[in-house]
Structure 1
Amino acid sequence: MKRREFVRHSLAVAATTAVSYQRILGANGRVRLALIGCGGRGSEVALHMAKVPGAEYVVACDVYAPNAAQAKTLLNPAAMTTGDFRRVLDNKDVDAVHVATPDHWHAAITVLACRAGKDVYVEKPLALTVKQGRQMVEAARKHNRVVQSGMQQRSAPHYREVERIIQSGELGEVRFVRVWNYSNMTPNGIGNVPDAPVPEGLDWEMYLGPAPKVPFNKSRFLSTFRWFWDYAGGTITDYGTHRFDTVQQIMHVTAPKTVSASGARFTLKDNGEMPDVLQATYQYDNFILSYEAVNLNAHGMGGRTPGFEYYGMRDKEDRPHGEAYYGTNGALFCDRIVFEVFPQP
């Protein structure tokens, strides 16, 4: 489901109950949204959502006051701002919440929002752990809420064509799939900034929330939080999650039977904790998926066609992100921009 479809669907579902129906009619058919997590990603997506007829952001919520203030300016100068998401859930004027916090907060906010009768759009990855993800699904079903995760890559039209090619058998039997995310963060990675006083306007205790209590460090905040186990899972849960979703969409599967992985932090000497090389193997009923996340080299798979543009390309030969489907009749390479088929010799 595309983001705009989510907002329209939320409007339709809300109208199925008498209370919501009267409330929305009184608001001239609007869906009133709250953005929880007003950083770069949250604000960017919210700007797109706000363009959908009937959608209006009425609350900007962030533990960092400057972020909330900036989102208010971008989305709706009349919006309320708060640093506590619980005030959002208590607000009867909010129909749905848009959760764009660091990953470790996704589950708690989503579950509580469902209990409060709010529909939810939550950024990927859905949760920090499998158990949390299951709790979120259970909450959505129990409270009959619309909950969507930010897997927008599956909406790209060219992936539908890739799905058609593979499911039609044109590529032959596909028993091996590769997925890769490459970047070169050497030599300094995310840096080695020391602990520091909490910046003005930041509720650090609320930011940590369910995570262990630690002193403030800029590396754990904003764009680099993904490199710490307390809040996220690194490249595989940031970039890999989109590719896994695409593979399962194209191959018509829902989950692997087994998963094994190995990785280590070999080279990067920064504040981060994630492996700088990671390989994971996912065994499905009828194929094997091999995933690679490498932060020491940005070349990726290579094998480019002259004149084509590729997602994340920086030079003439690199192909840092993508998926490859190996069939008995040929190989199909794709990314967010393009796909190519190479016949079997």
Structure 2
Amino acid sequence: MFEMNRRTFVKSSAIAATSLTIMPSHVFGANERLNVAVIGCGRMGRNNLSVYSSRNDVNIAAVCDVYEPHLRQAAQMTDGRAATYIDFRHILDRKDIDAVIIASPDHWHALQTTLACEAGVDVFVEKPASLTVAEGRRMVQVARRTGRIVQVGTMQRSVPVFQNVIRIIEGGMLGPISFVRTWIVGNEYPDGIGNPADEPPPADLDWDLWLGPAPEAPYNINRFGIGDRWSTFR
């Protein structure tokens, strides 16, 4: 594992994504446990960690986050059994990881997914899978070329109740639909998220690694994410 700064990361990662072809370290047997690593230990990451760690066929081998308070919380959820990392690339260097759960900020999803596939690791990636159509197509190409399993956490596409609603609509049971109203809460009750000034990042946050492939930007609490809500970084 070598060190690099954010400015060289995108270029070197792109080269790696087009040149590496690494086979899985072993074939998973019926009586084995999957060694799973969680990349991104915020609200969604810890929720996934809780769900998967309760399974008898899963061993949470590692947890990773650039924000040390979240990393500590995740480690505590494994009773200290999981190895902890700030840089996810150390996880992909390991030869015993079967799958990763990617719940990092949205701008990381595409690159982490493709690098995991190139490392011979299967992937569960939280929604949105990518920020652009081009990123999504690249993810599909790499997953197919490497033969890895990639699942996107769009649970409303697979939960039976939602599938049944689709069948009702497509079957014409509701008749012609000419108007749909939808809404989204784009701010926080009661006073909104405000517009705080940029400031130095907290000492326990690797802001450079948090940005990763995203455009360089100063730390801002709204950019990083407000409480446990979805990150507002774009």
| TM-score (norm. length: structure 2) | 0.80
Task: Indicate yes or no: 2:91 matched with 1:85.
Answer: no
* 1:124-154 per-position Cα deviation (integer Å, ceiling 9, x unaligned): 0111111111111111000000001111122
| SS at 1:178 equivalent | coil
Task: Indicate yes or no: 2:62 matched with 1:56.
Answer: no
Q: C-alpha distance in 1, partners of 2:142/2:47?
A: 27
Q: Is the 8 A contact 1:60 1:69 kept in 2?
A: no
- Same amino acid, percent of matched pairs: 44
Label 1:168 to 1:18 Cα distance change in 2 as closer, same or farther (>3 A).
same
Gaps of 5+ in 1: 1-16, 230-345
Q: 2:100 aligns with which of 93, 97, 100?
A: 97
Task: Indicate yes or no: 2:208 matched with 1:205.
Answer: yes
Q: 1:181 aligns with which of 180, 183, 188?
A: 183
Higher relative contact order (CA 8 A, sep 6+): 2
Label 1:197 to 1:170 Cα distance change in 2 as closer, same or farther (>3 A).
closer
Q: 1:227 aligns with which of 212, 215, 232?
A: 232
Q: C-alpha distance in 1, partners of 2:33/2:154?
A: 24
Task: Indicate yes or no: 2:113 matched with 1:113.
Answer: no
Q: C-alpha distance in 2, partners of 1:18/1:143?
A: 10
| SS at 1:67 equivalent | helix
Q: C-alpha distance in 1, partners of 2:68/2:201?
A: 13
Deviation of 1:173 (Å): 4.5
* 1:9-57 per-position Cα deviation (integer Å, ceiling 9, x unaligned): xxxxxxxx99522xx44x9510111100000111012211222230121
1:136 is matched with: 139
Q: 1:68 aligns with which of 71, 74, 80?
A: 71
Q: Between Structure 1 and Structure 2, whose CA radius of gyration is higher?
A: 1
Gaps of 5+ in 2: 1-22
| SS at 2:95 equivalent | coil
* 1:203-258 per-position Cα deviation (integer Å, ceiling 9, x unaligned): 111011112222221111134674342xxxxxxxxxxxxxxxxxxxxxxxxxxxxx
Task: Indicate yes or no: 2:164 matched with 1:161.
Answer: yes
Q: Name the aligned partner's letter for residue 46 of structure 1.
A: L
State the superposition RMSD in angstroms. 2.4
Q: Name the aligned partner's letter for residue 168 of structure 2.
A: I
Deviation of 1:197 (Å): 2.2
Q: How many residues align?
A: 209
| TM-score (norm. length: structure 1) | 0.56
1:315 is matched with: none
Deviation of 1:123 (Å): 0.5
